[in-house]
Amino acid sequence: MAPSSEPILQVSGLVKHYPLTRGVLFRKQIGAVRAVDGVDFTLGRGETLGVVGESGCGKSTVAKLLCNLERPTAGAIRFKGEDITRLSGRALKAVRRNIQMVFQDPYTSLNPRMTVGDIVGEPYDIHPEAAPKGDRRRRVQELLDVVGLNPEYVNRYPHQFSGGQRQRIGIARGLALRPEVIVADEPVSALDVSVQAQVINLLDRLQSEFDLSYVFIAHDLSIVRHISDRVGVMYLGRIMETGRDAEIYDHPTHPYTQALLSAVPVPDPEARDRRERIILAGDVPSPTNIPSGCRFRTRCWKARERCVVEVPALAVPEAFRGGTGSAVHDSACHFAEELRVVPAQGAAEGPAQGVAEENGSGPG
């Protein structure tokens, strides 16, 4: 899991607005759902970038944009320097070999009317150049073996497997074309906790085995920390704070990150009593009507006049500029300051499940 500095994926100014229209015959645009509203990040080769945020903050839309399942309204996604957002036809198909996706719900991500062999082998039908025809069946069985399934299961149907096994099938399909980037959209949130650990460990193992780079989307902070090298915290379509995992978890400087981390359940009752729980007021504003200035200001206890008029840039905050240490990382807040919210003692013994804000089952 050694991240190198060489970027494999560069995302800049990524925007996805879904227009809201009114009228049957003469469609008039009356607004837009600003699902993703200016996201920038870089993914290094062999690195894992965790993206966290509550439901509806645009995480899944980012995943779809990365896999070219949706066209962005603006911005660029560069894979090895080439902008893939405007590609079509053969060039797009070629890029798709390199960026694959693992889906959230293993119960809908596998076609119930195809056998496991057909599902995992389908990438070879679509990209015949990836494997010679006679070799495909052996490769499919190898893939099943790699993800920890019995290769003899090729003739079974998805409904004959448990949730964790199904997610392994989904991962095998994602691996078939030997992609360089895997976008995992909440890959374990539909699984129960013991199985979550197995699947996370599998992803971890595959990363070193196949030299993969991950964009790992989740709302579970503990799991994101476990697997990520770097973490980005999203709120209402934008990344609010990003940095190495230790920087985000132990030295958060953005009030939203601090509030999220303070909501992680603490299994130790004593530590729980000592910690400071930040309760945010109000609900997430509608993505059709995003507040001016800092989008978090409506729920922030630090909000002042400046937050209404000036959009904070995602950069190292003024207070920490020129300094050293873990608090020096990008944070989109005018009044960033370090605040330790994760209690230290005893927290390590808890269950893996650390639900951020709510355990939303819908796509985030």
Partner 1 sequence: MPEQPYEPERAIAGTGMGGAMDLAASEATTLEPAPAGPLGTGPVGKPRSLWSDAWRDLRRNPVFLLCALVIVFLVFVSLWPSAIASGSPLTCDLARSQDGPGPGAPFGYDGQGCNVYTRTVYGARTSVTVGVLATLGVSVLGSVLGGLAGYFGGVWDAILSRITDIFFAIPVVLGGLVLLSVVTSNTVWPVIGFMVLLGWPQISRIARGSVITAKQHDYVQAARALGASDTRILLRHIAPNAVAPVIVVATIALGTYIALEATLSYLGVGLKPPSVSWGIDISAASPYIRNAPHALLWPSGALAVTVLAFIMLGDAVRDALDPKLR
Which residues from 81-140 bind partner 1, rule CB under 8 A?
92-93, 96-97, 99-101, 103-105, 108-115, 117-118, 122-123, 125-127, 137
283 or 349, CB closer to partner 1?
349
Nearer Cβ to partner 1 (204/337): 204
Site string (337-356) toward partner 1, x via CB under 8 A: -----xxxx-xxxxxx-x--
Q: How far is CA 27 from CA 271, 284, 312, in A?
A: 56, 29, 35
Output the smallest distance, CB 294 to partner 1, in A: 27
The contacts of residue 318 (CB under 8 Å, 6+ apart) are none
| Terminal alpha carbon distance of the chain | 26
Q: Quote the least distance from Cβ 117 to partner 1, whole Å.
A: 6
Q: Tell me which DSSP letter residue 74 carries.
A: E
In the numeric block, the tokens 């099943």 are attached to 144
The CB density around residue 107, as the number of other CB atoms within 10 Å, is 14
Considering the complex, state which of residue 288 and residue 326 has its C-beta at the smaller distance from partner 1: 326
- What backbone torsions phi and psi does residue 360 show, to the nearest 5 degrees? -65, 135
Dihedral sign from CA coordinates of 303, 60, 260, 251: negative
User: Cβ of residue 304: shortest distance to partner 1, in angstroms?
Assistant: 30
Restricting to residues 277-336, name those near partner 1 by CB under 8 A: none
225 binds partner 1 (CB under 8 A): yes
Alpha helices in the chain (DSSP H): 59-66, 89-96, 116-126, 136-146, 163-175, 193-210, 221-227, 245-250, 255-262, 269-274, 305-309
Between 142 and 161, how does the x/- string for binding to partner 1 read (CB under 8 A)? Answer: ------xxxxxxxxxx-xxx
String marking each residue 29-58 x if it binds partner 1 according to CB under 8 A: ------------------------------
Pairing relation of β-strands 28-44 and 74-79?
unpaired
DSSP letter (8 states) at residue 45:
T
Within 62-91, the residues that bind partner 1 by CB under 8 A are: 64, 67-69
What track of x and - describes contact with partner 1 for positions 173 through 202 (by CB under 8 A)?
x---x---------------xxxxxx-xxx
Q: Report DSSP letters for 308-354, one per residue.
A: HH-PPPSB--GGGTT--STT-SEE--TT------S--TTGGGS-S--
Closest to 303 in 3D by CA, of 334, 262, 340? 334
Q: Which is nearer to partner 1, 86 or 205 (CB)?
A: 205
Closest CB to partner 1 among residues 233, 294: 233
Complex with partner 1: residue 18 or 157, whichever CB lies closer: 157
Q: Determine which residue in the list 40, 142, 204, 337 makes contact with partner 1, applying CB under 8 A.
A: 204
Total interface residues for partner 1 by CB under 8 A: 82
Closer of 274 and 304 to partner 1 (Cβ): 274
